[in-house]
Amino acid sequence: MTRSETIGIVVGYADLPAALARAAASIIGHTQGLEVVNDPDLPRERLEELLDQATARHPGARFVVFVDMYGSSCFHAATRLLREHPEIELVCGVSLPLLVRFLQHRQRMEYKDLVDVLRRTSQEQACAVPG
């Protein structure tokens, strides 16, 4: 039995998704398995179309959608995608550590285990360092 490919889709405002992908590539050496959907002041319907196109490019794949922040128009566009595809996982608060972990482990780990690692990474980043 072959494992389904896992694709990450980064959705966010302005150039943030592309900048994070470039930064991750400088660390990992590639961005294979990563799609970028920017929001250059696009209406939510257009974001939804771009998300549909990103998933259509990878038939049979599993997806982790990374959004910039909870409650944003990018988040709402992604939740529409989840209503149609409940097997897709959504992670809010995309960051460089999340994308690096995703790129490092997406081909080595089972999907659910990878999602668990990403959620833990996201929670670990929520802490504040006392100053």
Q: Which domains does the chain have, with CATH numbers?
A: 6-124 (3.40.50.510)
Name the CA radius of gyration of the chain, rounded. Answer: 14
Q: Is it the case that residue 130 has pLDDT exceeding 80?
A: no
Q: What is the pLDDT of residues 47-106, one digit of tens each?
A: 899 999 999 999 999 999 999 989 988 899 999 988 888 889 999 999 999 999 999 999
Which tokens belong to 25? 């590539």
- In the chain, DSSP assigns E strands to 6-13, 34-39, 62-67, 89-92
Confirm if 34 and 21 have CB atoms less than 8 A apart. yes
Strands 34-39 and 6-13, how do they pair? parallel
Longest CA–CA span in the chain (Å) reads 51
Residue-wise pLDDT for 102-118, tens only, equals 999 999 999 999 999 99
Three-class secondary structure of residue 48 per DSSP: helix
pLDDT tens, 18-28?
999 999 999 99
Torsion sign (Cα): 10, 16, 20, 26: positive
Give every strand in the sheet of 6-13, ordered side by side. 34-39, 6-13, 62-67, 89-92
Is the pLDDT at 4 greater than 80, yes or no? Answer: no
